[in-house]
């Protein structure tokens, strides 16, 4: 079985600061993918970044980077130079790359950016 744990229910950060959102995972799949999604108040899930379990380099997408530590089973999201529009719920998710294709989500972290 797969499990995602996000231990920060809420985070408050000043605009322009960097922020790290924590995510740990557990799986018995030999290969898997890790994802971060942003969910604004409108409800739609917006894909941010992806990390494959065999990728040697940490993924980056603009202001987003994923700090992947396989031995620790962690996949933290780092947002650099935060903006007011970054205020939203953030979900870490994973899926095995064999068999069932479903995404397993964590409980989410509510990020609030203060001006």
Would you tell me which residues interact with another protein (CB under 8 A)?
33, 35, 37, 42-47, 50, 52, 91, 93, 97, 100-108
CA separation (Å) from 74 to 3, 33, 40, 81, 113? 12, 12, 24, 22, 24
Nearest approach, Cβ of residue 65 and another protein (Å) = 16
Nearest-approach distance from CB 17 to another protein, in angstroms: 26
Give how far the C-alpha of residue 18 lies from the chain's centroid of Cα atoms, to the nearest Å: 15
Looking at the Cβ atoms of 13 and 89, the one nearer to another protein is: 89
Do 77 and 64 form a contact (C-beta atoms < 8 A)?
A: yes
Minimum gap (Å) between residue 51 Cβ and another protein? 11
């Amino acid at each position: 079985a797969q499990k995602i744990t996000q231990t920060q229910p809420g985070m408050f950060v000043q605009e322009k600061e960097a922020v790290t959102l924590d995510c740990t995972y557990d799986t018995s799949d030999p290969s898997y993918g890790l994802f971060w999604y942003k969910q604004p108040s409108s409800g739609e899930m917006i894909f941010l970044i992806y990390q494959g379990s065999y990728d040697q380099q940490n993924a980056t997408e603009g202001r987003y980077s994923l700090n992947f530590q396989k031995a620790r089973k962690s996949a933290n999201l780092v947002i650099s130079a935060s903006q007011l529009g970054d205020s939203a719920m953030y979900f870490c998710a994973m899926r095995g790359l064999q068999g069932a294709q479903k995404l397993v989500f964590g409980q989410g972290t509510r990020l609030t950016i203060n001006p």
